[in-house]
Amino acid sequence: MNQSSQHGNTRKSRTPTNPAVAPISRAIRAALAVSATMLTLFTPVASWAASGTCAYDAASNTYACNGDFSQTLPDAGFIAPADLTVVLGDQLPSSVHPASGQVGIDAAWAGDVSVVVGAGSGISTSGADGIRAYSADAAAMVANYGSIDTAVTAAGAKAMDVGGVYDVTVVNGGDVSASDADGAYDVMAANLHSTGYAATTSFDNTAGGSLDASALDGSATALAALAGGDYGTLYISNAGVINADSVHGDASGIVASAVSHGYTTIQNSGSVHATGYGSAVGVDAFGDYSSTLDNSGDISASADTTAADATAYAASNVSMHLSYLTNEASGSIVAAAHSGDGLATAVGAYAVGGDVTTVHNYGAISAGSSSDHGDAQAYAAAVIGYSGIGLLINGGDLQAEASAGAGADAQATGAFVIGAVASVFNDASSSATATAGEGGTAIAKGAHVNGANSAINTYGDLSAIATVAGVACAGESVQVGWF
């Protein structure tokens, strides 16, 4: 199909260049990998468990602990110097299993705060954080290559909670998990937050890393990250696995926010999955000045409820000014929502911005919604440009499907753009299928734009199929509108 439809003084929009993700702001110090030779110079510290011993090296300002520990590290009797680094298991696999209600590693002292968990080592807590690291006057860094597991038997308990006034850096190459089997609490696997001016908050989940949050009745969030100071920067890179699921609550894979003129950048080459009851979000990104989301992996969100509304957003990218969302050729973004009696809403890629908002798709984006007795709506890709520029460039596959019950409404749209200047360029495939029961309404649109200056240009395929009670209706393959 070769078609062009436009209204007003449409002009070609130049695609802005997406800023690249900066490297982790603070490299892991050489002192973190303490050799056995160096340990001969360490000063032993009294053991707190029969098989656990710690040693302090003044030259590297490193506190290395090896063996099995049954209480919080460092011990209350140890006076931590400024800029201390605590290492668990640099010589042999080690463990920390404190009593219920006690933190595994509690790192809070003057200057920079650094914690490293070595490969094969583990921290297991109940009702308290696995690692709590906070610097009130400098930076905080945590590197995990072991396992951290927290049973959330008390409000606020997390596997990892890292914060600082200045830069906050986390590298995860191990397993981080938090769960609540009883259903009384919200669950969060990892929480990062910085508050300083122009501070950088960064999280790197490597190919061997995993984050998992599992809840019964409360909400489940695998990763929450905040750049809370003016002009802060937030970077998240995921090459591993991030998963959040709640049986009776909401679920979020990644929740990232840079407020007050802040910048957010997320790169995903791994997998991010969220499965919730009433609501699920795979990636929820916000950057006050700029937000960029680049996906070359898998992002999915699924919500399934019986009576209430069900809402699933796979990839959401929002900014007050500049919003850029890209799904690479290898990328997959999937949203699915089902409700028994309520409204079911599924959105694959969702971008919102005040000035410039773009979605570039070269992979596969799909949204599927269904309601047994209520309404259903699905958008494969939605671009909300408000009073600025809204642009959707599709070189991959967009697919939206909505199914509603008898007497209900079903609406499906493949490509959706609104803005003062709203444009869709389709070089591949965008399809929509809407199905409603007896007495219902079905509306399907392959592409829809709405703006004072709007255009749809397609050299690929646009298709729309609408069916009510098994009878095909006239679907809209192209629709151009304006405010």
Tell me if 109 is assigned to some domain: no
Mapping DSSP onto H, E and C, the string for 339-395 reads ECCCCEEEEEEEEECCCEEEEEECCEEEEEEEECCCCEEEEEEEEECCCCEEEEEEC
In this prediction, the residues of the chain whose per-residue pLDDT falls under 50 are 1-50, 482-483
Q: Is residue 348 part of a domain?
A: yes
- The string over 247-286, giving b where at least 16 C-beta atoms fall within 10 Å of a residue's C-beta and e elsewhere, is eebbbbbbbbbbbebbbbbbbbbbbbbbbbbbbbbbbbbb
Assess if residue 323 is contained within a domain. yes
Structure confidence at residue 478 (pLDDT): 60
Tally of CA atoms within 13 A in the half-sphere of 255 that contains its CB: 19
Q: How many domains does the chain have?
A: 1
For residue 44, being part of any structural domain is answered with no
Is 112 domain-assigned?
no
Answer yes or no: is 51 within a domain: no
Write the pLDDT tens digit of every residue in 368-421: 999 999 999 999 999 999 999 999 999 999 999 999 999 999 999 999 999 999
For residue 427, being part of any structural domain is answered with: yes
**The predicted structure's pLDDT at residue 183:** 83
Q: Which domain holds residue 183?
A: 3-9+120-481
Residue 40 maps to a domain: no
- List, for residues 161-174, the tens digit of each pLDDT value: 999 999 999 999 99
